[in-house]
Structure 1
Amino acid sequence: MKRLVVLLLGALLASLALATPAQAQGQNENLVKVIVVPGLNQTGGQPVTLPAVAAATLGDQNRAGEIFELNQGQQQPDGDALEDPNQQLTPGWILRLPDDASGQLVQLAREADNDAVEMDNGQVQGGNEVSLPLAAVLAVVGSVLLALVTAAIVARRRVSRWFARFTELLKSLTAPAERRRKLRQRKWLTTHFAADTDTVRRAYGTIGTLATAPTPPQVHALRVDNRGVTVWVTSDNVAVTPPAGWDTVDETRWRASGTPFGRNYGDGTACLVRVGAIETAGESEAVFVDLSRLDGVLAVGGDPTVARDVVQHLLNEIAQVQPGTPVLVLGSAGNVEIPAGLNRVSTARSLNPEQPLLEGETVRATARRQPVRAVVVGTPQQQADLVQLCGSAGAGWTGLVVGEMSAHWRWHAEIGGEVRIPVLDLEVTVPA
């Protein structure tokens, strides 16, 4: 064991001796020309494009293709990347330039060992997900290995403790890269949902088909994929026999393969919104929830940024499937933006002057189905107003809350963009 310690120590010292000079030399010599995309306040409000960059740094806008080839797919400081030569450039992006670039906007940056470009202020473009210097990686790994071996000599029972610390260290090193990867996935999901109308048609077609069954089930959620549809039914329908073409998955879910669904959209009460997706075998399967069965308030707690994204996305979905729906915002409501397709109102009375508002009613009650007539967006601090507007005995509107509060539906948002939906026993990735 002692010989192993000596060999590991010698290998570590030799690796550091070989890696450190090369790294120092690379930092001094591997300089590249770059441009930091200026903000709109610097360009007089004009968006920056690749031809504009080529004209300013190369004197020829027709050389924009060279700049695109140097930067295509390279991760930018905000986690996004240049994927299209006609793409509008985001202020703060770092673009590599050909060697003959010149002008006031041209800067010098270092090219690191992991193919990243690093500015003097620490901003990085491109490179691997975890951009650690080779010497630092060797030092961390070698130190931990030596510590593990030494601990095994002194007391074998301590090895598991060191291993746990080593695992936590690796997690802390890779966590930022994992968050960036998830953010890119969530942004892709936003674009995918905006272009995908087929799953929406199939979801509504499923509701319409099941509504014509001899004993129609009460469906409150659906999961649509390329192979079929899974529906969640309420406990009142457990004893109902699934219609022809449907199989029982468990006591709350039915499954139908293929796409035997027509264009019948049911009774018009359903308000299906895609809350997110589940990754299965490389495929993103959309998960729908029927807001007409919400009966009160949906409170999204956990990470406040992701919770705000959830409420924002639900409003965007309502604007697509039920445009013109009135929306009342209580307070700041997490700075949620109301989509153009919805009708923002300033007071509750402007929606229904004859509707009495009750006091003291709870927003947590047995679920019942009712149309989505209006949406109230608020925070837990406005619970009294939400009770009056969204309680079972109140105005009967649909409430969306950014934060934790007592409600019939409560979801929990994770920092990585996952949301747990307890009533479905499901975790989905939500759009950003």
Structure 2
Amino acid sequence: MESTIQNSFDEAKKLYGKHGIDVDGVLERLSRIKISLHCWQGDDVRGFLNKSRELGGGIAVTGSYPGRAGTPDQLRADLDKAFELIPGRHKVNLHAIYADTDERVDLDALAPRHFENWVAWAKAKGYGLDFNPTCFSHEKANDGFTLSHPDAGIRRFWIDHCKASRKIAEYFGRELGQPCVTNLWIPDGYKDTPIDRLSPRVRLMESLDEVFREPIDESYNIDAVESKLFGLGSESYVVGSHEFYMGYALSRGKTICFDSGHFHPTETISNKLSSWLLFGKQLLLHVSRPVRWDSDHVVTMDDELLDIARELVRGELLDKTHIGLDFFDGSINHVAAWVIGTRNTLKALLRAMLEPVDRLKEIELEGDFTSRLALVEEFKSYPFGAVWDYYCWKSGTPVREEWLAEVKRYEREVLFPRTQAKGSVVG
């Protein structure tokens, strides 16, 4: 097996080398890319802060596959297993409701001490941490409004929660020696057409200004804001629209988050990346797979994923981009979902890096669109899979579908018994 992988890689390297592509350099570059795995795939967005709560804010998880994590230790073990099967060194994206504490505390009073176990684990494993305020599934969000709420007292609660989240993120960055990206998304909006679209946006702008009032060194915390076209319960109007956050982020020097499921079903984000990064310093990507709506399916290597990867590589935008995943599929093995989505994202980036980008740009400038089309199409069948297999092998992770056998073993020995144990939480 090892000789086959090596031989296939050597032959692929020769083919790519004919076009001036440094395959070893590509793999070294790929190894530096960190994908942020979203913790909420592991437990169907339940969290640990208030286990009696119901999902709200337009968020829904379908499926009841057994074995979802019911404790912080279980979730960390599942993430460890996923990381064993994914080449590279990556990050974990936490929501505020995943605080690991026995203390009874509400969202507005969260502090770094409530996440010390997460930091100790990440430090020991060499992972980075990202963070998100949880502005949903709470009694103060039951009417669908948080930072833009007309009640000043409710707005204050959410402002305080978001401010606390930034301090937690700063703590992550200081302790782990790498920036924590803190992404702010709110569900605020109306199911039917509102009379006044402006006032909620004025309130949101003022709330955000208060949230971000205290400067935090970006070597510790990077603030991002995330838009959405519509949601369940906010089909007709979303306060934090794409246009609102574009204007806010540019005028306040913040990072914007493009979620691949948060736009019109026929709209893609790949064509937006270079436009934003002409004006914004950084970009946060939430890679998901919408099916007719923001349904957060596990990422597959579809055309849009490949186009996102190509845009990042061809425009030399990777150094300005933070990549995270955002899907929650409760219908399949929770660990397998992470592995499939992350490996596909990395494979798409590898495919993009293994294109003769400089040559393609040259012939495009020359107006030779025939050669441009021909080369782009021919490279779709070049042996990137042999390079991927070699990368996995050299990284000490399973090659091709070999990882699935380990997930199935873990499922039998660890995940399924959780559903049978007394007092366990079943997905």
TM-score interval, normalised by the smaller of the two chains: under 0.3
Higher relative contact order (CA 8 A, sep 6+): 2
More helix by share: 2
TM-score (normalised: structure 2): 0.25
Give me the TM-score of the superposition, normalised by structure 1. Answer: 0.25
Q: Which has the higher strand share?
A: 1
| Greater radius of gyration (CA) | 1
